Amino acid sequence: MISFCQFGAGRIGAIHAANIARHPGARLRTVVDVDVVAAAKLAERHGAAVGEAAAALADPAIHAVVIASSTDTHATLIEAAARAGKAVFCEKPIDLDRGRVEACLAVVKQAGVPLMVGFNRRFDPNFAKLHEQLRAGRIGKLEMVAITSRDPAPPPLAYVKVSGGLFRDMMIHDLDMARWLLGEEPVEVYAAASCLVDPAIGQVGDVDSAAVTLKTASGALCQIANSRRASYGYDQRIEVLGAAGMLQAGNQLKSTLVVAGADGVIGEKPQPFFLERYAEAYRRELDNFISAVTAKTAPATTGTDGLRALMLADACVESVKTGRAVRLSQ
Ligand SMILES: NC(=O)c1ccc[n+]([C@@H]2O[C@H](COP(=O)([O-])OP(=O)(O)OC[C@H]3O[C@@H](n4cnc5c(N)ncnc54)[C@H](O)[C@@H]3O)[C@@H](O)[C@H]2O)c1
C-alpha cells in the first residue's frame, strides 16, 4: 500500500486525489495547500488529514508525493520531497526556467528517487493505441505527424500573466507528444505565433495562436497547431502519416448521438475541456506511477521528458522572437 501526501488542492489536485483514493494499492494520507479551506475540503472528501509541508515530508509513513500546486512551487517541492526520500509525481511544467529544472533534476538524481512528470496525454487510451500501432510498424516508416490542440476559450488574464506563455504552459504537452510519437529528438524548430483571439493576451506579452514545425535528424516532420479558442469545444487530435498508411486519433465527443434531418447530419461537440477529455488519461497516468513505485521500476514519463519538452518550448519562443528556425543540439 503506497501512502501519499498531495500538495495542491485546486483543479488538477481534485482529480489526482480522487484517483489515489480509488486505487486499491494506494491511500491519500495528507493534503497540503496554502489555502487551508481547499485542503480541508479535499482531505475530508477522501478521508485524509490536512498537513503541513515539512511535517508531511518527515513522516516515514508517507512513501510518495503528488505535486499539483501552482507551477512556481514545483521545483522547490520536488527537491524537498526527493531529499526526504519520497517518490515524486509532479504536474507539468517542472519550472519555467531551464537552469532551474536542471538543478532540480540533479537533486532528484542524487537522491535516487523516481520522478514522474504529468504528461497525461500519453495515457489517453486512443493516443496510446495510436502510439502502439505506430511502434508496431502498422503504417511503415513514420514521415509526418500533425498535432491539433485547441483550448475552448482563453484562460483568465491573471493566469496568462504568470503562466510562462503559451509555449511553456500549453504547447509543452504537444511538444512532449511530438517527441513521444516521433521516437527521436527534434533537431530543428520553427515557430510562428499571433494574437488572433484576444488582444489583451498580446498586451501582457503572450500569444494565443501558434503554428510550429519540428524536424528530426532523419527528416521526419511534425506540425503542431495551438489556439486558445475553439468555439466547438476542446479540440485534441493526432494524425500520423507513414510510408504505408495513416493513423488518426480524434476527439472524444460528449456522446455518440447523431441527429439526421432534412438540413443535414449533426453530431455532438467534443468534450468541453481537459478535466472531462482526459479523465481516463489522468487515471491511467496515476496507475502508472503507483505501479512503478510498487515495482520499483521507472515511470513512463520522467524528469528528462520534462526538461526536453521545456527546451523545445524555449526554442519556439526564440524562433518567434527571431523569425528564424532554431537548431537544437542533442
Ligand atoms: N496535466 C494537466 O493536464 C494539467 C491541467 C491543469 C493544471 N496542470 C498543472 O497543475 C498545476 C496546478 O494547476 P491547477 O489548474 O490545479 O491550479 P489551481 O490554482 O486550481 O490549484 C493550485 C493550488 O495550489 C495551491 N498552492 C499554491 N502554493 C502552494 C504551496 N506552496 N503548497 C501547497 N499548495 C499550494 C493553491 O492554493 C491552489 O489551491 C499547474 O502547475 C498546472 O500547470 C496540469
DSSP H or E run through 36: helix 36-45
- Contact 22 CB / ligand 1 (< 6 Å): no
The predicted structure's pLDDT at residue 1: 94
- Contact 94 CB / ligand 1 (< 6 Å): no
> Distance from the CA of 10 to the center of ligand 1, in angstroms?
6
Which atom of ligand 1 is found nearest the CA of 7?
A: 33
Which atom of ligand 1 is found nearest the CA of 14?
A: 16
Task: Give the chain's residues under pLDDT 70.
Answer: 330
Give the pTM: 0.97
Which residue of 91, 120, 124 sits with most ligand 1 atoms within 8 Å of its CB, as the best mutation to test the pocket? 91
- Contact 32 CB / ligand 1 (< 6 Å): yes
* Structure confidence by residue, pLDDT tens digits, 118-164: 999 999 999 999 999 999 999 999 999 999 999 999 999 999 999 99
The predicted structure's pLDDT at residue 329: 81
- Contact 54 CB / ligand 1 (< 6 Å): no
Among protein residues, the one whose CA lies closest to atom 5 of ligand 1: 12
> Distance from the CA of 227 to the center of ligand 1, in angstroms?
22
Nearest by Cα to 207 from 222, 194, 225: 194
* Structure confidence by residue, pLDDT tens digits, 256-275: 999 999 999 999 999 999 99
- Contact 70 CB / ligand 1 (< 6 Å): yes
> Distance from the CA of 160 to the center of ligand 1, in angstroms?
14
- Contact 9 CB / ligand 1 (< 6 Å): yes
- Distance of alpha carbon 18 from alpha carbon 36, whole angstroms: 18
Which atom of ligand 1 is found nearest the CA of 53?
A: 32
> Distance from the CA of 147 to the center of ligand 1, in angstroms?
25
DSSP collapsed to 3 states, the chain: CEEEEEECCCHHHHHHHHHHHHCCCEEEEEEECCCHHHHHHHHHHCCCEECCHHHHHHCCCCCEEEECCCHHHHHHHHHHHHHCCCEEEEECCCCCCHHHHHHHHHHHHHHCCCEEEECHHHHCHHHHHHHHHHHCCCCCCEEEEEEEEECCCCCCHHHHHHCCCHHHHCHHHHHHHHHHHHCCCEEEEEEEEECCCCHHHHHCCCCCEEEEEEEECCCCEEEEEEECCCCCCCEEEEEEEECCEEEEECCCECCCCEEEECCEEEECCECCCHHHHCHHHHHHHHHHHHHHHHHCCCCCCCHHHHHHHHHHHHHHHHHHHHCCCEECCC
> Distance from the CA of 284 to the center of ligand 1, in angstroms?
20
The predicted structure's pLDDT at residue 257: 97
Which residue of 69, 96, 124, 289 sits with most ligand 1 atoms within 8 Å of its CB, as the best mutation to test the pocket? 69
Copy the grid coordinates of residue 38.
481547499
Among protein residues, the one whose CA lies closest to atom 33 of ligand 1: 33
